[in-house]
Amino acid sequence: MWSHQNLQLMLCTALSCVSSAAGLILVFGYEGRDVMVSCPYDPGYERYQKYLCNSSCGYSDFLIRSSQENKTKYSVYDDKTTRVVTVTISDLHFDDAGKYWCGVTRAGKDIYTEVQLEVKADRCCDTVNNIQGNEDGSVTISCPYDSQSDNKLKFFCRGNRPSTCLQQAVITSSNTQDGRFRLSDDRKSGIFTVTISSLTLKDSGSYLCGVQRNSGFDVFSAVDLEVKEWCCVESKNLSGIAGRAVTFQCPYPPHHRNNMTFLCKGAQRSDCTYMTYQGRFTLHNVNAAFFSVVITKLEAEDSGTYWCRSDPEWIVGNYTQFHLTVEEVEQRGLSIIEAQYWLFAALPVLLLILIIILVKVCRTKRRQLNEAAVDMNTSKLEAADAQDVTSGEDIYKNDDVAAMFRQQKRTQQRTHVLPGTADEDQVIYENNPTEQIYCNHFI
């Protein structure tokens, strides 16, 4: 026995009830995502059964009824207060696109509302705008839109899924400032811009610029942001002495010829105090290769990290990092070069002192040797005299003859060597040791 409901369904099918649709509902969804089909109904039908069907709404075309439990693919909720029945279709596929009907069961003809579902791939876009930025810097992204979207909501999100972009937007035109993100809308040019400051490496990735539509799919444009790491920056270590000067040499590319040069001090580029080229900081030697900054009369407080560049933006390769250490004079020992310098400077004085000492030593030694030689000769003469006297007395036995004999022997000993002969040299060398001769030659 057929039920009354089955009979109604057969009658509706035979009478083409779906042709009497009240209005048209357009629904748009993305592949793999969910979509909600909301169908309003008139007062007085709150207690009536609602359903969603497709094709011709035959018995086998019913997808879900409000009296049924929710299914995996379809779920239904009837809000009797607002008089809207909502059917959610999960995990959309392209073959889900097409015509549907929202129906309200009643005696006679059911009430139908036509639903047209369009399914689109959840990705964007065929054209991607590539943007580059630098770590710790900022970047501005331009998002164009058509003239019909002047008053529409603009938004900016991360990723490339249009289905969730608005819900996950990092900034919108209704809230133009949010942390590091700022949105500005120029309706005359038809472009809204998003500025991201204090960039980090994690900011690299895909983004979407979106414009909300009242009906249909929202409009998107894709952006790919690459944040460059400060990996190739030249870093130098410098040391200076308090009270003296130190020089920074910064690269200066030819295409920066008309750019202003900068020197700033700080541990981070984002927190760097510009040093004016006045007082102890002066600019020198600006040419096509580099420019120099000289710090005179260094102070202990000058120690720290410096950055010099010749470009208004922090671009990789356009700046140099310096780590300056200022040392006090008392705490700084002599270097090897300085020690060698002082050694060579003092060497002539040391040699002169050594010569003077040697001369004095030789003269003293010579005097002592001469005195020793005289004493020796005197002793020999006295011994010889004594021997001569004894011999004379024994021979002649006469005091006068012995005295004459001693005088004669003394004269012969003193004059038996002629000056200028080889025997004279022999006598000199015999009476003067080698050390005395060396001193004589040295003097």
SS3 sequence, 199-220? CCHHHCEEEEEEECCCCCCCEE
Which SS3 state, helix, strand or coil, does residue 344 take? helix
Which CATH superfamily includes the segment(s) 4-120? Immunoglobulins (2.60.40.10)
- 45-54, 322-331, 332-341: which range is least confident on average? 332-341
* pLDDT tens, position by position, 229-270: 776 677 889 999 999 999 988 877 777 777 778 888 998 876
Whole-number Å distance between alpha carbons of 439 and 433: 10
H-only helix segments in 284-335: none
At residue 389 the predicted structure's pLDDT band, cuts being 50, 70 and 90, is: very low
User: How many beta carbons lie within 10 A of that of residue 310, not counting itself?
Assistant: 22
CA distances from 125 to 142, 156, 167 (A): 16, 15, 19
At residue 409 the predicted structure's pLDDT band, cuts being 50, 70 and 90, is: low
Place of tokens 């099918």: 13
| pLDDT score recorded for residue 189 | 92
Residue 430 has pLDDT above 70, yes or no: no
Q: 392 exposed, middle or buried (CB, 10 Å; 0-12, 13-18, 19+)?
A: buried
**For 328-347, what is the mean pLDDT?**
69
Whole-prediction pTM: 0.53
CB 192, CB 137: distance < 8 Å: no
- 3-17, 92-106, 272-286, 396-410: which range is least confident on average? 3-17
**For 386-397, what is the mean pLDDT?**
49
| pLDDT score recorded for residue 346 | 82
- Residue of 304, 351, 296 whose CA lies nearest to 325: 304
CB 136, CB 314: distance < 8 Å: yes
**For 418-435, what is the mean pLDDT?**
46
| pLDDT score recorded for residue 309 | 80
Residue 104 has pLDDT above 90, yes or no: yes
Cα angle value 68/74/78 (rounded, 5°): 55
Whole-number Å distance between alpha carbons of 127 and 104: 45
Residue 10 has pLDDT above 50, yes or no: no
- 160-169, 177-186, 315-324, 388-397: which range is least confident on average? 388-397
Whole-number Å distance between alpha carbons of 413 and 378: 12
Considering all CA atoms of the chain, what is the largest pairwise distance in Å, rounded to the nearest integer? Answer: 198
Which SS3 state, helix, strand or coil, does residue 362 take? helix
Residues 6+ apart with CB under 8 A from 342: 334
**For 373-397, what is the mean pLDDT?**
57
Residue 174 has pLDDT above 60, yes or no: yes
Which SS3 state, helix, strand or coil, does residue 397 take? coil
Higher pLDDT, 401 or 14: 401
**For 313-336, what is the mean pLDDT?**
73
CA distances from 17 to 8, 40, 44, 47 (A): 10, 18, 20, 21
At residue 400 the predicted structure's pLDDT band, cuts being 50, 70 and 90, is: low
Residue 60 has pLDDT above 90, yes or no: no
- 63-72, 85-94, 191-200, 408-417: which range is least confident on average? 408-417
Cβ-count burial 246-271 (b if 16+ within 10 Å, e if not): bebbbbbeeebeeeebbbbbeeebee
| pLDDT score recorded for residue 298 | 93
Q: Average model confidence (pLDDT) for the chain?
A: 80
CB 129, CB 140: distance < 8 Å: no
Start-end of CATH 2.60.40.10 domains in the chain:
4-120, 128-228, 234-327
Q: How many residues does the chain have?
A: 443
Cα angle value 365/371/373 (rounded, 5°): 100
Amino acid at 72: T
Amino acid at 439: C
CA distances from 254 to 284, 294, 317 (A): 17, 22, 13
Whole-number Å distance between alpha carbons of 179 and 197: 9
Whole-number Å distance between alpha carbons of 191 and 145: 6
CATH number of 128-228: 2.60.40.10
| pLDDT score recorded for residue 63 | 94
Give all strands (DSSP E) within 74-190, no chain letters: 74-79, 84-89, 98-104, 111-120, 128-134, 139-144, 154-158, 171-172, 177-178, 181-186
At residue 302 the predicted structure's pLDDT band, cuts being 50, 70 and 90, is: very high
The CATH number corresponding to 234-327 among 2.60.40.10, 1.10.150.120, 3.30.479.30, 3.40.605.10 equals 2.60.40.10
Whole-number Å distance between alpha carbons of 113 and 104: 9
Residue 66 has pLDDT above 80, yes or no: yes
Place of tokens 């075309």: 61
Q: What is the dihedral of CA 272, 273, 279, 285, to 10 degrees?
A: 40
